[in-house]
Structure 1
Amino acid sequence: MQNLPIKLYRAAQVRELDRIAIQERGIPGFELMSRAGDEVFQCIKKQWPDARSIGVFCGSGNNAGDGYIIAGLALAAGLNVYVHAVSDPEKLNGDALTAYRKYRAVNGTVMPFQAGQAIDADVLVDALLGTGLDRPVTGLYAEAIQTINAHSSPVIAVDIPSGLNADTGNVMGYAVKAVCTVTFIGLKQGLFTGQAAEYCGEIGYAQLGVPDDVFAGLKATATRVVKTQLPRRSRCAHKGNCGHVLIVGGELGYSGAARMAGEAALRVGSGLVSIATRAEHAGLMNLNRPELMCHGVETAVQLAALLEKADVVVVGPGLGQSDWAKALFNAAISSGKPMVIDADALNLLAASPTTKPDWILTPHPGEAARLLNCSTADIQKDRFAAALSLQAGYGGVAILKGAGTLIAFEHQLAVSNTGNPGMASGGMGDVLAGVIAGLLAQGLSLQDAAQQGVYNHGLAADLAAEKDGERGLLASDLMPYLRQLIN
């Protein structure tokens, strides 16, 4: 992925940026359209320099106008160009109609799209539907999208893959699966979460010469998380300066969860890590990681002494929902310590909701649904809204895990795009909880610990997958990469 801007916007905001550029800064709309088409064509030449033909699928709006610009540039470059019009181009309006007529003026040909027709091109261009889509794709557009997806040639999407909601990242019935997407003026927030990861491919960006001050008066709805470096440690640092994390969890049969959370906290630099767990396996948990201090704890009274010593508390990894779990959970959240609430602790919290300013919640969509008393489908329908609702309802920082993990804090949103499908295995969330706690213990704010924890956790998984592949990736495989990244 190229060096993308940090700020993300809703589709309506990008249309407003477009309006300001045209009406208040005097940039002709057709000039912006021409620049957009040129950016996509340059990307085609760079990505597929040996391509000798392109197939351009055009719809009925300005996205189609971009497509006709691209087709004209390809024709001028000597490529064989096949334009498939899903909508009658003579009914286009404004700049899109101008683009079509310019293409026709250089003897460009257009074929009305028909379902089932043969497609012959080295590269396909998706210029069917833009960012204004607000209903499911049906009819001939759906047929065109299915035709594109069934073809073996690579696909480049203009501004957004057709059929993808620019605000939520959800598929509206059908959506084009692109190898890359070139988006313009403002990054659309829907490109970075939800189902978007399956459809956008590599995301490219072009500002199209819109002046920076055009963006100044419009507040972004979200930001992308980028890596920040931790400050260099004092040469005189000792373990007491680096934070003490307490992990509360590890019901019988689930000791591994607490164990992995504890090691993750150590691997990102926590000075000390204690684990409060069932007495039956407390003496065994640290056999291959003796740096962990494991304590058999059966009552809230026994937990109190450990809570007193801790700087940060993680509650939930392998905790279960027994009476033992409930007692420890209640004692922990009453301690007044900064906390990370994960796994079964989230389910216990959903049963007895409360609000705190100094904790980080780490639900996946199913846990988020229980916290908000709705369905998982409701959560995924608009992940941005769900993350904000979690934070508003429970305070602190709310992390909504998934492809394009969201971090919500005080009416602000951030999205992290590190990570891969290999992380769909047990223990990954436990490692994340430990990473975040380890960063908190070293003095990072809740917001920074959450953002950098999510980012580095996903990046560690990416590095591990790059070496040995996604399938079979284990949570514990992330440990050496976490240490590298945090340094």
Structure 2
Amino acid sequence: MSEPVELFDIAAARQIDGQATAALGGDAYVLMQRAGHAAWQTALQYWPQARRIVVVCGPGNNGGDGYVLARHARQSGREVSVLHLADASPRTPLAQRACTDYLAVGGHVEITPDCLQQADLIVDALYGIGFSRAPQAEDAALIEVINAAAAPVFALDVPSGVDALTGNVPGAAVRAQRVLQFIVAHQGLHTGAALEHAAQRLLATLEVPPLAFDGVKASALRWARPQLAALLPPRRLNTHKGESGHVLCVGGNHGSGGAVMLSAEAALRSGAGLCSVATRALHVAPLLARCPEAMAHAVDSSEDFAPLLARAGVIALGPGLGQDDWAQALWSAALASGKPLLLDADGLNLLAAAPRPLPQAILTPHPGEAARLLDTDTASIQRDRFAAAHALATRYAAVVVLKGAGSVIAAPAQLPRVLAAGNPGMAVGGMGDLLTGVIAALRAQGLSPFDAASTGALLHSLAGDAAAAEGERGLLPRDLLPHLRALANP
């Protein structure tokens, strides 16, 4: 299995940069030249026909990387312009040095954005990874002109205006077709709003010495398809259904029977040996007609529920549950059972109303549910999804899947995992119910809570990507079911 890509926060990236500079003799310009050259090689690879190149340089070292790229492009015979605003001439010693070298080969500088309209390629070297505020008015106006131009945009290290630590976009930000990160991958570019601005993320390691990483740890891991195989090995030939676990899906209140049906079928398609369903009586017949492999039970009282709890290996609580007296009775009984739990939907809303630690449980909130669990608002969750996932895992002592673009999986004392899968077509009612069943099935098959959450969320997202091959708009949760089975057997 290929190892997951390590992601780093800004402090770690800067420490690595400093240690790499020291290991290379102490001249930071060595790394800047490597970065600019790597960026030029990437531009040649992806846009070989681009003859007119505009490099938008800021006053800092990110702008210095842009000047180095511009020098290489000019020396190769391209028509090159460097654009910076009138008050944004190079201010750091490295950027000044790179600008001098660019001018020395006959390069010139523009201070108005008119040149952007004739470009075949625009290179964004305006802000670096340390920029985390909303751009000021003049810079914001320039970014809007960049985004409106017809040419593709290639960003160096980070799209300008995107917070490389959190993925937040507090104001105007460049929308780049490709981003070339230097030395390490930045955690913020892999989740949330940042994904709208970094369509494809590449990495140039700049061949820094290994000792540049001494004492530095990654802040997260990028979890992608290669990670499935290690945690979903082939089954033993001499196996039986009991070894694959027994999931109990609890939910399907009046008007919401489809939610628990989706969870049950997803659990079975993801490999659960047995799946029981505790639901309202009127949903039993439709559920059996749709999925006869599920064992559906009408539950009207705690007496009906107790034997189901006793037989279950994992309880998936919340899809279509509601918050009435019936729902609260099932919720309380499930939490009191001591069985492994997965909480979603109204299972989470009931937890938010009565917070308590739930060690070994798995919580799968979307940003709105996460906000209720942390007594805050959705915007605060989305501003820093890593911090929000960590806060949830800490407050509830549980594994957390913070859903959304670039889902973040966190747990106490674990390195977070960020999914590199999923698509906008999955933003439809019922997708979370499907995810509940997938994760519960993997937990029932013996995976740890953290591995079940990570692998289940990845399996679900990859199934969504496979189903979206026919189009994202109109994608339904049940479209994922055949792909779940195929992907669960890597």
| Cα distance in 2, alignment partners of residues 474 and 91 from structure 1 | 51
- Secondary structure of 1:119 counterpart: helix
Shift of the 4–307 alpha-carbon distance from structure 1 to 2, 3 Å rule, reads closer
- In the alignment, does 2:376 pair up with 1:377? no
Counterpart secondary structure, 1:142:
helix
* 8 Å CA contact 1:388, 1:411 repeated in 2: no
Contact 2:277–2:296 (Cα < 8 Å) also in 1: yes
Shift of 1:129: 0.5
Q: Secondary structure at the match of 2:401?
A: strand
The equivalences for 1:5-84 within 5 A come to 6-26=5-25, 28-84=27-83
Counterpart mapping for 1:209-358 below 5 A: 209-226=207-224, 227-229=227-229, 230-358=232-360
Distance 2:304 2:4 in 1: 50
Residues 352 and 372, structure 2, Cα contact 8 Å, conserved in 1: yes
Please give the TM-score of this superposition, normalised by the length of structure 2.
0.96
Which residue type is aligned with residue 179 of structure 1? Q
Once the 2 structures are TM-superposed, how far is the Cα of residue 117 of structure 1 from its aligned partner? 6.4
1:289-321 deviation per Cα after TM superposition (whole angstroms, max 9, x unaligned): 111111000112211100111110000001011
Superposed, 1:358-377 pairs within 5 Å as: 358-377=360-379
* Cα displacement (A) at 1:134: 3.1
- Deviation of 1:13 after TM superposition, in Å, equals 1.7
Question: Which position in structure 1 is the counterpart of 2:440?
Answer: 437
In the aligned structure 2, how far is the partner of 1:347 from the partner of 1:89? 49
Where does 1:452-467 land on structure 2 (aligned, <5 Å)?
452-466=455-469
Q: 1:35 Cα shift? A: 1.2
**In structure 1, C-alpha distance between the alignment counterparts of 2:377 and 2:446, rounded to whole Å:** 36
Q: Secondary structure at the match of 1:66?
A: helix
Moved more, 389-398 or 409-418: 409-418
Q: 1:205 aligns with which of 169, 192, 203?
A: 203
2:155 alignment counterpart: 157
Assess if the C-alpha contact under 8 Å between 2:58 and 2:89 holds in 1.
no
Task: Give the superposition deviation at 1:91.
Answer: 4.2
* Residue 100 of structure 1: aligned partner: 99
Displacement of 1:284 in angstroms is 2.0
Structure 1: segments with no counterpart, 5+ residues: none
**Residue in 1 aligned with 2:130?**
132
Supply the AA of the counterpart residue of 2:282.
E
In structure 2, the residue matched to 1:473 is: 475
Give yes or no for contact 2:166–2:384 (8 Å, CA) kept in 1.
Answer: yes
Matched, 1:182 2:184: no
Q: Which amino acid aligns with 1:189?
A: Q
For residues 67 and 264 of structure 1, the distance between their equivalents in structure 2, rounded to whole angstroms, comes to: 49
Alpha carbons of structure 1 residues 323 and 158: separation in structure 2 relative to 1, 3 Å: same
Task: Please list the CA deviations of residues 246-304 of structure 1 after superposition, one character each: whole Å capped at 9, or x if unmatched.
Answer: 00000111111101111111111100001000012212212021111110001122111
Q: Please report how far the alpha carbon of residue 448 of structure 1 lies from its aligned counterpart in structure 2 after TM superposition.
A: 0.6
TM-superposed CA distance for 1:327, in Å, is: 0.4
Unaligned runs of 5+ in 2: none
> How many residues in Structure 1 have an aligned counterpart in Structure 2?
483
Mapped to 2, the partners of 1:192 and 1:483 lie a distance apart of 27
Q: Using the alignment, how far apart are the partners of 2:89 and 2:367 within structure 1?
A: 46
Please list, as runs of the form range in 1=range in 2, the aligned pairs for 1:445-456 lying within 5 A after superposition: 445-456=448-459
1:215 Cα deviation (Å)? 1.7
Change (3 A) 1:15 1:4: farther
Contact 2:58-2:90 within 8 A present in 1 as well: no
1:77-119 CA deviation, whole Å, 9 max, x = no partner?
Answer: 11111211125575432221111111101101111135x6662
- Distance, in Å, in 1 between the alignment partners of 2:89 and 2:401 is 48
Relative distance call for 1:224 and 1:102 in structure 2 (3 A) is: same
User: What SS does the aligned partner of 1:287 have?
Assistant: helix
| Counterpart in the other structure of 2:141 | 143
- The answer to whether the Cα contact below 8 Å between 1:58 and 1:126 also exists between their aligned partners in 2 is yes
**SS of 1:232 mapped into structure 2:** coil
1:25 CA displacement: 4.7
Q: Counterpart of 1:82 in 2: which secondary structure?
A: strand
Q: 1:97 to 1:278 in 2, by over 3 A?
A: same
Give the C-alpha shift of residue 396 in structure 1. Answer: 1.9
One-letter identity of the residue aligned with 1:136: A
Cα distance per residue 1:320-359 (max 9 Å; x no partner): 1111000001101111111110001100010111112111
Secondary structure at the aligned position of 2:239 is classed as coil
Matches of 2:447 and 2:4, distance apart in 1: 24
Question: What percentage of aligned pairs have identical amino acids?
Answer: 49
**Could you report, residue by residue, the CA deviation over 1:341-389 in whole angstroms, capped at 9, with x for unpaired residues?**
0001100010111112111000001001111111111111211111111
Distance 1:405 1:135 in 2: 24
Residue 422 of structure 1 aligns with which residue? 425
Q: Summarize the Cα distance change of 1:480–1:27 in structure 2 as closer, same or farther, 3 Å threshold.
A: farther
What RMSD over aligned residues (CA atoms) do the two structures have, in Å?
A: 1.5
Q: Normalising by structure 1, what TM-score? A: 0.96
Structure 1 residue 420 displacement after superposition: 0.5
Deviation (angstroms), 1:41: 1.3
Q: What residue identity is the alignment partner of 2:458?
A: Y
Whichever residue aligns with residue 228 of structure 2, its letter is: T
> 2:239 and 2:67 mapped to 1: Cα distance?
63
Conserved? CA contact 2:54–2:115, under 8 Å = no
